[in-house]
Amino acid sequence: GAGVSQTPSNKVTEKGKYVELRCDPISGHTALYWYRQSLGQGPEFLIYFQGTGAADDSGLPNDRFFAVRPEGSVSTLKIQRTERGDSAVYLCASRASGNTGELFFGEGSRLTVL
């Protein structure tokens, strides 16, 4: 497809379980971003990649959160030992090369931790 694709669209898990969320960016976009959004709030920055490397991971809340982008395209956000407070919509966005520009967002993955 032409847009940013995120899977799964919905994920329900139990407290303590491990979760992976996948993002497939627009082809050719070098920058990829992960955000977390709670209901009615603005997106909270987690991490962004430039190519394969994490250019800024200062938004990851703790060491239970980890993200990879091994080939500079698809990225996976990994959450270990999930907690109820991790419940949110996780948004992925990509941006073409260059220092500034438009972020193109996916529809998000809604995570519910019971």
Partner 1 sequence: TQLLEQSPQFLSIQEGENLTVYCNSSSVFSSLQWYRQEPGEGPVLLVTVVTGGEVKKLKRLTFQFGDARKDSSLHITAAQPGDTGLYLCAEGGTTSGTYKYIFGTGTRLKVLA
Residue 33 near residue 103, CB atoms below 8 Å: yes
Return the range that interacts with partner 1 (CB under 8 A); candidates 11-19, 68-76, 77-85, 98-106.
Answer: 98-106
Q: How far is the CB of 42 from partner 1 (least distance, A)?
A: 4
Q: Specify the DSSP class assigned to residue 100.
A: S
41 contact partners, CB below 8 Å, separation of at least 6: none
Binding to partner 1 (CB under 8 A): which residues in 5-64?
Answer: 31, 33, 35, 40-45, 48, 55-56, 58-59
Residue 45 near residue 33, CB atoms below 8 Å: yes
Which residue lies nearer to partner 1 by CB, 71 or 102?
102
- Give the number of residues in contact with partner 1, rule: CB under 8 A: 26
- The residue type found at 24 is D
Residues contributing to the site for partner 1 (CB under 8 A): 4, 31, 33, 35, 40-45, 48, 55-56, 58-59, 91, 93, 99-103, 105-108
